[in-house]
Chains A and B, each alone.
Chain A
Amino acid sequence: MNKTHTMEAPVLARPTSLLDLFWSFSLLALQGFGGVMAITQRELVERKRWLSREGFLEDWAVAQILPGPNVVNLAVMLGDRYMGTKGALVSVAGLFVFPFLIVVALAIGFASVSHLPQVQGAMRGMGLVVAALIATTALKLIPALRTHPGGQVFCVLAGVATFVCIVVFQWALIWVLLLVGGLSCLWTYHRLQPMKTAQEPTP
């Protein structure tokens, strides 16, 4: 149980330069329609292999609990981890430079066609695909929970409770995070054994 899948295994790759960081996050941002989270998992875990599935889930959880746009927080965390403050800056710049230009161009062009039913239909179809993409990301991350210290039954309970609170009760996220997340952290804390000291730290 105390196998530390939380640590980065040496098989993982890492960015080679600031430019690599910038382009990686640019590429990721340019593929992210309706949010970047799902594509981030695809790019950073499956293609670039900077993160394991478990590592991604943990980093994403931290990025999500901290205030601010989640994917920006993730870019700050990863950029800083690999290349310090400069890395964080460059990663965030990568996320925004091109999408900023595109969204402004869109705003200029869209004003004249937004009333067309075809355009609204296209947006509905794309929204559905985005929803499917996000659901897919969840499906791919579920196997990473098998080794969760809290146990699989607990993970299902916490997950169902979260979904019900958000979708059925429509609670504000902060209360869900505090209540369900708080209980979940307490239980995980209880189940985690104090770590034996011989763990090698990550760089």
Chain B
Amino acid sequence: MSLTLAPADWLSLLLHFMGLSLLAVGGAISVVPGMHRYLVLQQGWLTDSQFTSSVALAQIAPGPNVLFVVLMGWNVGVNAGGTHWALLGALLCLLGIVLPSSILTLFATRWAQRNQKHRGVRAFKQGMTPLVVALLISTAWLLITPSISSQTSWTFWLLGIVALLVLWRTRVHLLWVLAAGAVLGATGLV
């Protein structure tokens, strides 16, 4: 795919991601459908498979989940004809998704910090904590559902339980456990 993007298009890309930033309640992953509509359906700057691989590849790179927007911007730039455009796209998408919400967070939490003895502020902060724990468990569940089918071998569940116990009860570094998972997955054992 090759495109020509005018400066106004790059600006539009930035502004669109800035808007999504303020809608991303619950994290950047919750506005992925919005990005898909904009980049793939509306503008035609990415193919469907480029979009999907942008999200998937970011999962195996270290760093915040939101890095998948870097790959979206990168691929838009690649389609527009070169590495320098790719870098521009990557930076614009990252800045767009990070900047507005960060500024909001800065001021909102300063306000909350000043009013932290206020019963409403404490009720809000503590009231959300059971949900945070439940959302973690939900996320873990949602992450493994694509891998679960009638053909899922017992070794898959065994690895899951062993990984859980190792990470919960020992101080073994995460990278070793990840490496073990990668090797077992690559050799087709799980």
Question: Which residues of A come within 8 Å of B, CB atoms?
Answer: 6, 29-39, 42, 57-58, 60-73, 76-77, 80-81, 85, 88, 92, 95-96, 98-100, 102-104, 106-107, 110, 114, 117-119, 121-142, 144-145, 148-150, 154-156, 158-163, 166-167, 172-174, 176-177, 180-181, 184-189, 192, 194-195, 199, 201-202
Contact = CB atoms under 8 A, between A and B. Distances in A.
B1 interface: no
Given A99-B64, A110-B57, A162-B131, A64 B26 contact: yes
A134 B136 contact: yes
B164 interface: yes
Given A107-B74, A136-B168, A130 B186 contact: no
Q: Secondary structure at chain A's binding surface: helix, strand, loop or mixed?
A: helix
Contact of B63 (A95, A124, A185): A95
Contact of B116 (A155, A158, A201): A201
B137 interface: yes
Interface stretch (B6-14, B35-43, B100-108): B100-108
B104 A129 contact: no
B187 A121 contact: yes
Contacts of B122: 6, 188, 192, 195
Contacts, number: 363
Interface string B55-78: 011111111111100110011000
Contacts of A154: 130
A32 B160 contact: no
Contacts of A119: 186
Contacts of B102: 68, 72-73, 76, 88, 92
Contacts of B26: 64, 70, 173-174, 177
A68 B101 contact: yes
B88 interface: no
Contacts of A133: 163, 167, 174, 177
User: Which has the most chain B C-beta neighbours within 10 Å: A42, A128, A163, A201?
Assistant: A128
B2 interface: no
Kindly list the 8 A-B residue pairs having the minimum CB-CB distance in the complex, ordered from nearest.
Answer: A68-B101, A125-B185, A99-B63, A185-B127, A189-B123, A173-B26, A162-B134, A61-B128
> For the complex, would chain B's binding face be called helix, strand, loop or mixed by DSSP majority?
helix
B53 A114 contact: yes
B120 interface: yes
A31 B71 contact: no
Contact of B57 (A36, A107, A150): A107
B126 A148 contact: yes
B82 interface: no
A186 to B, nearest CB: 8
Contact of B129 (A37, A58, A123, A189): A58
B131 to A, nearest CB: 5
Contacts of B98: 68-69, 72, 92, 96
B183 interface: yes
A57 B129 contact: yes
A37 B24 CA distance: 16
Nearest to A106: B61
Contacts of A88: 102, 106
Contact of A160 (B112, B134, B135): B134
Given A6-B122, A64-B135, A167-B142, A31 B62 contact: yes
Given A107-B57, A140-B168, A189-B123, A96 B63 contact: yes
